[in-house]
Amino acid sequence: MSGLALFAHQFRYDQKAFWRNPASVFFTVMFPVILLLIFATVFGGQTVDVRGGIKTTAYYVPAIITLAVISATMQSLAMSLVIAREDGRLKRGRGTPMPSWVFIAGRVGNSAVVALLMLVLMAAIGRLLYGVAIPWDRLPQIVITLLIGAAAFCCLGIALTAAIPSQDAAAPIVNALLLPLYFLSGVFIPDDQLPSGVIHFADVFPIRHFFEAFFDVYDPGSIGAALQWGDLAIVAIWGVAGLLLAIRFFRWTPRGG
Amino acid sequence: MGDAVISIRGLRKSYGEFEAVRGIDLEVRAGEVFAFLGPNGAGKTTTVEILEGYRKRSGGEVEVLGEDPEHGDRGWRERIGIVLQSCRLDPYLTVRESLGLYAGYYRAPRPVDEVIELVGLEGKADSRASKLSGGQQRRLDVGMALVGDPELLFLDEPTTGFDPQARRQAWDVIAGLRDLGKTIFLTTHYMDEAQRLADRVTIIAGGEIVAAGTPEDLGDRENQPATIAFKLPAGVAAGDVPGGPEVSEGGEAMLSTTTPVASLNELTGWALARDVDLEGLEVTRPSLEDIYLELTE
C-alpha cells in the first residue's frame, strides 16, 4: 500500500473511534458550542471596545472558534496519544509493518477534520442565532490561518505528551496549561477589559497570536484585514519548536509499568 | 524439525548496573511451540522484547527469521506477529474493526472472518472491545497478531490473570495455531501451560538458562531422587527405621532415595518383621512443578 492509502486506512478507523468516544465528542465538539451559547447569552446585547466597538457576539464567535481549533488539535491529540501510549497500543502498532508516522498522521488528520468542522459549526451557529456575518470573501485567509494554527497546535500537542506521565494526568496537565491562557489571551474575557501587562504576558504564547490572527481575518468590522503574518509567524515558531521537541522526546512505549 | 527460526548466542542485556539477561543461548525451530518459562523478573520479557525488535541488546548474537531484530524492516515485520504482555485494545472498535484495522497494515492478510473463527469470537464479531471479557480481549489480541498471517508468533504471558476456563479457551486457540504450522514463542510463568502447549521448554531464572528440554525429560526428572513418605509408627524412633528418614513434628517421615525399589523393599521388610504398619505409604517422583520451583529458587 502507498503511504497515502495507509494514511487513509488509519484515518478511517481513527474517525470511528473518535466519534464513538463520548469524552472526545463532548470536550472537543459540544463544549465549545456550550461555551459560545453561554457567553453569547450572558453578555448578549453588550458591545466590546475593540475596533471602535463591536457586538460581543461578533467577538465571541471567532474567539470560541480559536478555542475549538486548539481543543480539536492540541488538547485532543495530547489526550488520545497518551491514552494510546499507556494502553500499549502505540507500542503494539510499532510491532506491525505499518510505518510509525501513519499512526500519528491518522490522528493529526482527524484533528484537522474536526477543527474544520468546528469552524463550520460555530460560524453557522453565530450566523443563525446571533446574526454574526460569515466573512465569505475572506474564506481563503480564514482557512489558511486555521490550518497554520491547527498544524502548530498539533505539534505542540504531540510534544506535550512527553510531559504527561499517565492517563490520569493527561486532562489536568492539558487544562492547567490551556485554561489560564484562554483567559489571559482574550478568548474568554474581551481584551479591552484585560490589563496591558496581562496582554504582554499572553503575547509570549501562541494562543494569543492565533486568536489575534484569526480574529482579524474573521471579524467583518476590521478594515482591509489580510493574513496577519506577524502573529502567524509566532504561532508557526511555536509549532516548529513543538515539532522538534516531539521528534526528540516522543515515546511509543508506556511510561507507567 | 525445521530450520532455526530464532537463534540466540550469548545474549546479554544490562540496565545500568543490573544484568537482566546474562549470556543465554537458545534456538527455536520452524513449526514448534517453544515455551520460555520463568518467574517474574527472570528476564523473559527482556529477552522476548529483544527478539521482537523493541529493545537493543548489550551483547551477543540474535537472529530472528534470518535477520537481526534491531534492523528488522517492514518485510521482516510482515512475517512476525506480536502479542504484548499487557495491551488494552481500542475500546470503541468492534472485534471485526480491530482486526480490519490491523489487516490493513499487512500486504497479504488472512481474511478477517477466518481469524475471528480461529480465535473463537464468532458470536462477538460486532461487539466493541470494551464489551468483551478479559479472556475474549486476549483472544482478540491474538487475532490481531495473527491477521497478518505471520510465520512466527510471540505470545508474552498470554494467560496471566485468567480464570481456569478462560485459560483453557486460550490454550485451545494456541494449540490450533500450531496446527496451522506457525512457530510460536511463548513466555509464561505457569508450568502447566508450558507442559500443555510446548514441544520444548527452556527455563530462565536470574537471567540465566537453568534447564532446557521437552516437557517430559525436563530437569532430568527420571533420574531425580524419589520420595518415600509414611507416618512414623507409634513407639518407633526415626533412627530405628532403615534409611534414616527425616521426620516432621507431626510424625510424617520422608525418605529421599535414588533407588526407590531397593529402599522400599528394605523399608517394608523391616515393617513386616517388626509387625508395624506404615500408614499413608507413598512413593512420588518430583512433579514438573517441583523441578521448576527448585530450579528457579
Q: Tell me, what's the ipTM?
A: 0.90
With an 8 Å Cβ cutoff, the interface of chain A facing chain B consists of: 1, 6, 9-10, 13, 16-17, 20-21, 84, 87-89, 91-99, 253, 257
> pLDDT tens digits for B223-269?
778 888 888 888 888 788 888 888 888 888 888 888 888 888 888 99
Query: Mean pLDDT, to the nearest integer, of B77-88?
Result: 93
> Quick check: helix, strand or coil at residue A158?
helix
pLDDT at B145 over 90: yes
Residues of chain A found within 8 Å of residue B105, distances taken between Cβ atoms: 6, 93, 96-98
Whole-number pLDDT of residue A116: 96
Going by pLDDT thresholds of 50, 70 and 90, the confidence category of residue B191 is confident
Q: What is the mean pLDDT of chain B?
A: 90
From A10's Cα to the closest Cα of chain B, the distance in A is 7
Whole-number pLDDT of residue A220: 61
pLDDT at B1 over 60: no
Residues of chain A found within 8 Å of residue B100, distances taken between Cβ atoms: 13
Q: Which three cell numbers stand for residue B127?
A: 461487539
Q: Are A144 and A227 in contact (CB under 8 A)?
A: yes
Which stretches of chain A are DSSP H helices?
3-20, 22-24, 31-42, 56-70, 76-87, 89-94, 100-130, 139-160, 167-184, 196-202, 206-218, 229-249
B261 touches chain A (CB under 8 A): no
Task: Indicate yes or no: CB of A95 within 8 angstroms of CB of B84.
Answer: yes
Instruction: For residue B230, list its beta bridge partners.
Output: B253
Query: Mean pLDDT, to the nearest integer, of B274-293?
Result: 83
Going by pLDDT thresholds of 50, 70 and 90, the confidence category of residue B219 is low
B53 touches chain A (CB under 8 A): yes
How many angstroms separate the first and last alpha carbons of chain A?
34
How far apart, in whole angstroms, are the C-alpha atoms of residue B31 and residue B57? 26
pTM for the structure as a whole: 0.87
Residues 6+ apart with CB under 8 A from A204: none
Whole-number pLDDT of residue B274: 86
From B9's Cα to the closest Cα of chain A, the distance in A is 23
Q: Which residue among B89, B102, B128 sits closest to A96, beta carbon to beta carbon?
A: B102
Whole-number pLDDT of residue B170: 87
Whole-number pLDDT of residue A223: 59
Going by pLDDT thresholds of 50, 70 and 90, the confidence category of residue B53 is very high
Whole-number pLDDT of residue B3: 84
Whole-number pLDDT of residue B234: 81
Q: What does residue A10 show for φ and ψ, rounded to 5 degrees?
A: -65, -45
How far apart, in whole angstroms, are the C-alpha atoms of residue A207 and residue A203? 8
Residues of chain A with pLDDT under 70: 1, 220-225, 257
Task: Indicate yes or no: CB of B77 within 8 angstroms of CB of A95.
Answer: yes
